[in-house]
Structure 1
């Protein structure tokens, strides 16, 4: 499988400690995947490997793929097998797999047609692509609060949103245009408790929003994040508990056998 080296942007230990909900809330996606003994499942954007471990516990072999070096190390350690450092836009496999699974990773891959084509090339005829990602409106309140905090300093125009949050019809059409038959697409809100994040939205932005403020002078970033949290509080701080306003896009698609 192709490998591309890059500098780590994740703190794998902090990710597990403060953002374990990303994996805890993915049970429904694994049920849709329904991994079977003897199958090989590629986990695209495997992170620290928590979900791949559950898939393997059901009897399937797993292939671990992530684009971040620290996540690759963490997943390799957790499952005691080598994870592969590769870009989701153009990864390749040595042997086709039965399924490609992905949770909370596809929205970081901003050239989705390339990702879908790579996934299709990795699958056996009749293989399935089962995933959950951020959909349209995902973390709109978080982004809006940060944008207002930046605007107060005249910095809003420099903000770059690093995610791809599609409408369900858009992503379904992309899958079908690349040889998949789509059997399920769901788009739903999931207000998510940031119970392990003492500073709530500020902690969330520190972990996931670095690209949003990379144009901000480093000395000014703590105050920008503090102000973003203050602006987000009326909507996302409820009865003393912080939440993130997630919208999830979940789908199941199968390679059309006649197209292989």
Structure 2
């Protein structure tokens, strides 16, 4: 299922993605002069924070709309796929990624490309959805899709591995894993709550449905999840679990 990104909606609804990235940025520890690739740079808000350290940062994203938004922030951003990075071999001291890798279709091709683009000894530092990420949301969403005859539309949208399985995958591609952790991170959703989250992060699935059904699916999913994920003050909390790692080429 192709995920489509609306930059204005993402900036409003998905601001927590870059706001909560302090931990993985700390693991990266960007330094002045360091050549860094931000893999899946999105609208460039986090990329700009990396560049502010004096590092030489390039962004790459598969979405032309996101690349345009990043460039509007002064980011050196190019359009490209994680499975075919538009850069020469051994070009970066570090490759960084936040909240992106779980969207990549071919993990093995992507990891081979990351290894190729890193200089020998360079670091791959990333955070992605890990095993159990948004499990309650997906159970509810899939149940509603199944009720309407579209259960398979959620199949393969994301990949949320365990630390053990992803370490093995990294090692198969020549990486040495220095640190890898699964981090539960319940996340308070902002304006629009769960409905806005679904319209933003499941836009591809929703757009694959008959138009008349889309808002029905959103409303029914929210109703199903209310007891588990909305508190007594009406705040929605998504059941995020992150996988964070440092791997050296």
TM-score normalized by the length of structure 2: 0.94
Distance in 1 of aligned mates of 2:226 and 2:78: 40
Unmatched tracts of structure 1, length 5 or more: 1-6, 256-260
CA shift at 1:89, angstroms?
Answer: 1.0
Q: Which runs of 5+ in 2 are unaligned?
A: none
1:210 aligns with 2:198: no
Query: Is 1:110 the equivalent of 2:105?
Result: yes
State the number of aligned residues.
Answer: 246
Among 76, 86, 89, which residue is 2:80 paired with? Answer: 86
Distance in 1 (alpha carbons) for counterparts of 2:174 and 2:151: 40
Offset at 1:52? 1.1
Match of 2:184?
189
SS at match of 2:119: strand
Any conservation in 2 of the 1:41–1:63 contact (CA below 8 Å)? yes
Structure 2 Cα separation of the partners of residues 66 and 157 of structure 1: 27
Shift of 1:113: 0.8
- CA offset digits 1:42-93 (Å, max 9, x no partner): 0000011111111111110001100001100000111x24411001011131
- Aligned-pair CA distance for 1:29: 0.6
What is the CA distance between 1:214 and its match in structure 2?
Answer: 4.3
Contact 2:98 2:127 in 1 (8 A): yes
Aligned residues of 2:125 and 2:246 also touching (Cα < 8 A): yes
Partner of residue 247, structure 1? 241
Query: How far off is 1:212 after superposition?
Result: 2.9
Give, in whole Å, the separation in 2 of the partners of 1:82 and 1:71.
Answer: 12
Q: Which secondary structure does the structure 1 equivalent of 2:185 belong to?
A: strand
Please tell me whether the aligned partners of residues 197 and 204 of structure 1 are also in contact (alpha carbons under 8 angstroms): no
1: CA distance, partners of 2:168 / 2:112: 13
Q: Mapping of 1:1-260 within 5 angstroms?
A: 9-78=4-73, 80-94=74-88, 96-194=91-189, 196-198=190-192, 200-239=193-232, 240-255=234-249
1:215 positional shift: 4.1
Q: Contact (CA 8 Å) 1:8, 1:70: kept in 2 or not? A: no
CA offset digits 1:167-222 (Å, max 9, x no partner): 1111111111111110110102111000x232x22211100112333442111111
**CA distance, structure 1, for counterparts of residue 96 and residue 204 of structure 2:** 26
Q: Stretches of 4+ moved more than 4 A in 1?
A: none
Q: CA deviation at 1:18?
A: 1.8
8 A contact 2:44–2:75 mirrored in 1: no
CA distance in 2, matches of 1:31, 1:241: 29
User: How well do the aligned residues superpose, as a CA RMSD in angstroms?
Assistant: 1.6
